[in-house]
Structure 1
Amino acid sequence: MTAYLDHASTTPLRPEALEAYASAAALTGNPSSLHSSGRRARAAVEESREALAAAVGARPSEVVWTSGGTEADNLALKGLYWARRAADPRRRRVLVGAAEHHAVLDVAQWLAEHEGADVRLVPVDAVGRTDLDALREALADGGDEVALVSLMWANNEVGTVQPVAEAAELAHAAGVPLHTDAVQAVGHLPVDVAAAGVDALSLSAHKFGGPVGAGALVLRRGTPLVPLLHGGGQELGARSGTLDAPAARATAAALTAAVTAMPEESARVAALRDRLVAGLLACADGVVLRGDPVLGPAHRLPGNAHVTVAGCEGDSLLYLLDAAGVECSTGSACQAGVPRPSHVLLAAGLDEREAAGALRFSLGWSSTGADVDAALAAVGPAVERARRASAPARGSRGRRRPPAAPVAGTVAS
């Protein structure tokens, strides 16, 4: 039996989503066609758009369907940057949180290398929360040169919830739009686009029980955006391409189910997480909880338990746990297999050796107490074995230095 504790990477498809996808996929019709089959497909897309908008506090006209969170982040950052720069060529500065997902950081780097962007990293504190004073100073220092701010809603590695509404208020006071990568938050935390005041929000279906390869960018009405894709002019010209009616149906069904169950489900998952955290801290010396130690929904994702284990390599622990039937991760699945410390942990002030022992356990809607029991039974022996194996290596050579920072500059804290 396998204990799956990697829901932050992808969570199992919800039954509601599978049923919605199967029923929609059995029908024929391009949503842009004018005949009966096309109109039926269009109705499925628009009903799904309305359901998704209602779940995140937005208008249906503000939902742009995408292939997932990465495309939504690319569309937001590049589209906002190009639109803002076209309106005023001075607007070349891009402010992003230092602990963002690579779907944001790598886009920022691309803009710096190919589009002349002046990218600045806004620092985080020891729990991975963005420094609002540093953001305020960066906005004041940038003057009319700031094109946009991008700040994730909740961190994908350590689970820390970010001060998005406060950051949006600061950005708007400076006349700057704010994008938030809410891939980890939607379906797990209350997310209200209008209440938070954000201008663009990215989400991905497979993080809340929808299909892989589906997502959306929620773009506040009136926000200028240059599209990435050109062709048929779908999505009011923001994202050309034939719309995937079955994926839209499944996404909306999964999110509706997640939001409906959220009050009870979040409490249940958080209780499992709290038991897991307590057990991890007691299983061996040198295990430290990372991210916000306040295990409440205003501070940390309900399913996130991120620790570092002194004297161990996270990859070694991962493989040992996998062999024991416990599946977790060392951080973002998008960076899995890359032999370097987490940029999130380094930004939070850990050194390379501390960051090397990272393990992320993440729970979701299908998690059970048996999953937690299996993890706690396996972690202690895995830590003991990993320490025995790594002791000679630590004595003979140092860790390789990580690559250079992915973007141009850093805002001083």
Structure 2
Amino acid sequence: MTTPVYLDYAATTPVDPRVAEAMARHLTLDGIFANPASRSHMLGWQAEQAVESARRQVADPIGADPREIVWTSGATEADNLALTGLLRANRARGRHLVTSLIEHKAVVDTAKALETEGFEVTWLAPGRDGRVTPDQLREALRPDTVLVSLMAVNNELGSIHDLASLAEVAHAGGALFHVDAAQAVGRLPLDVERLGIDLMSLSGHKAYGPKGVGALYVRRHPDIRLEALIHGGGHERGMRSGTLPTHQIVGMGEAFALAAAEGEADQTRIAALRDRLLAGLDGLGGIHRNTDTAVSVPNILNLAFEGVDGESLLMALRDIALSTGSACNSASVEPSYVLKGIGLPRTLALASLRFSFGRFTTEADIDRAITALRHALDGLRRQAI
């Protein structure tokens, strides 16, 4: 059986073998497996040391103090803690949040939940390039705005926000600035001090680490207060209780260290792979780039294919692992809310696929994808005539 070509790195990355090896040393009796909160014996101290070493590995690439890293179960929990934890803790100061229509669901759904608690949310509509401008943000700020939450890299489009300019506007308006950076680690330089970021959500499995672990960067100066969402033991400076998964944390730390060392070279190679795909599809006609490649990371490419349905195209590409943003239910098929959010016509939004490349993507993978796409498109378009 032919192994499928994996072009869905934005959904999850495979764990780097070097990361898996580091994790394996923290699982079994002959390794460092103890509870890091068990400070009454040497095995617990060793586990705590492993956790703190990983905390530094996560902090260093983003220019943070290790004490500013709060472990979570993933970027989704980190987003929830950043938005809900901050707004609840600061409700006396204000009840207004600013975000965009095309944020990850972990932000969108959290913001909607906050609206049911009496908080107010301003939903910014990005441009066709998938970006919110500083002027848009400036107009949305109010005296009671507590937080602005905008992602570093959009997970469907790959578009990159101008974080430094947006942070400057938010701070000038008296608001704190949160960034979901799940798709950005190893793909963009992320210096929280230079960029002016107050809170930042991070993911292990988007950076060749394991699933089930993430972190929230929380600036210490000035001190930012968050109301805990998970109680029981007061771990992580009282912000997130729960026994720390040593092996997953070690994996995330190793993954971030590798991203810092190899990310730039990875992206240069991946940009060439993206361009190879685009060149291979050139001449087919009816292909629209939803991704503005001038302002996006090279590993995410969203394309619309005229004359075909995205779900049908996906089914025809059985040996290519891709994704479509469409949400299916028994009543209807709805296009991706992200593509709708940038104003893409419904027909094109329903005909769109996301290609995402990574560390282990090869030229041979791209060539297989081009051949499969050409064959599938020709067949589907002939059926439509």
TM-score range for the pair, normalised by the shorter chain length: over 0.9
1:315 aligns with 2:311: yes
Equivalence for 2:132:
130
Distance in 1, matches of 2:15 and 2:180, equals 21
Counterpart contact for 1:342–1:355, Cα < 8 Å? yes
Which residue number corresponds to residue 228 of structure 2? 227
1:302 and 2:298 correspond: yes
2:179 match: 180
Q: What is the one-letter code of the residue matched to 1:93?
A: H
Match of 2:66 in 1: 60
Give the secondary-structure state (helix, strand or coil) at the position aligned to 2:229.
coil
Q: Does 1:245 align with 2:246?
A: yes
| 1:103 is the counterpart of 2:102 | no
Q: Work out the CA distance in 1 between the residues paired with 2:82 and 2:264.
A: 30
State the Cα distance separating 1:224 from its structure 2 match: 1.4
Which structure 1 segments of 5+ residues have no match?
A: 393-413
Runs of 4+ in 1 over 4 A off after TM superposition: 335-338
Matching residue of 1:340: 334
Structure 2: stretches of 5+ with no match in the other structure: none
Counterpart residue number, 1:404: none
**Paired residues of 1:94 and 1:149 also in contact (CA < 8 A):** yes
1:352-371 equivalent positions in 2, closer than 5 A: 352-371=346-365
> How far does residue 336 in structure 1 lie from its aligned partner after superposition?
7.5
Task: Map 1:12-411; keep pairs closer than 5 Å.
Answer: 12-26=14-28, 27-34=32-39, 35-85=41-91, 87-88=92-93, 91-113=94-116, 115-139=117-141, 142-143=142-143, 145-221=144-220, 222-282=223-283, 284-294=284-294, 299-322=295-318, 325-331=319-325, 339-389=333-383, 391=384
Looking at structure 1, the residues matched to 191 and 281 of structure 2 have their Cα atoms a distance apart, in angstroms, of: 33
Q: Structure 2: how far apart are the matches of 1:75 and 1:101?
A: 15
The amino acid of 2:81's aligned partner reads: L
What SS does the corresponding residue of 2:333 show, helix, strand or coil?
Answer: coil
TM-aligned CA deviation for residue 387 of structure 1: 3.2
* Deviation of 1:293 (Å): 3.3
Q: Distance in 2 between matches of 1:374 and 1:209?
A: 23
Q: Deviations over 1:248-283 (max 9, x none)?
A: 11101111112101221110111111111222343x
Quote the sequence identity (%): 44
| Residue identity opposite 2:348 in structure 1 | E
Deviation at 1:28, TM superposition (A): 3.1
Structure 2: distance between partners of 1:238 and 1:256: 25
Asked if the contact 2:325/2:335 (under 8 Å) is kept, the reply is no
In structure 1, give the amino acid aligned to 2:302. H
Aligned residues: 375
- The letter of the residue matching 1:151 is L
1:64-87 CA-to-partner distances (Å, cap 9, x unmatched) read 0011111111111101111221x3
Shift of 1:195: 1.2
- Structure 1 contact 281–288 (Cα < 8 Å) conserved: no
Letter of the structure 2 residue corresponding to residue 110 of structure 1: A
Q: Is the 8 A contact 1:122 1:131 kept in 2?
A: no
TM value normalised by structure 2? 0.94
Counterpart of 1:204 in structure 2: which amino acid? S
- Is the Cα contact below 8 Å between 2:157 and 2:302 reproduced in 1? yes
Q: Deviations over 1:150-209 (max 9, x none)?
A: 000011001110111111110101110011111000122211111111111011111110
Q: Which amino acid aligns with 1:382?
A: A
CA offset at residue 29 of structure 1?
1.2
Contact residue 69 and residue 203 of structure 1 kept, 8 A: yes
Is the Cα contact below 8 Å between 1:292 and 1:300 reproduced in 2? yes
Q: Measure the CA separation in 1 of the matches of 2:219 and 2:278.
A: 38
Q: State how far apart, in whole Å, the 2-side matches of 1:225 and 1:31 are.
A: 23
**Larger proportion of helix:** 1
Q: Deviations over 1:365-411 (max 9, x none)?
A: 1110011001100111212233345x49xxxxxxxxxxxxxxxxxxx
Q: Distance in 2 between matches of 1:65 and 1:292?
A: 34
The aligned amino acid for 2:359 is: W
Give the aligned partner of residue 9 of structure 1: 11
1:88-130, Cα deviation, whole Å (9 max, x unpaired): 2xx11111012111111010011112x1111111111111111
Distance in 2, matches of 1:92 and 1:374, equals 51
Q: Is the 8 A contact 1:277 1:289 kept in 2?
A: no
- Counterpart CA distance in 2 for 1:372 and 1:12 is 18
The alpha carbon displacement at 1:243 in A equals 0.8
Give me the CA root mean square deviation.
1.5
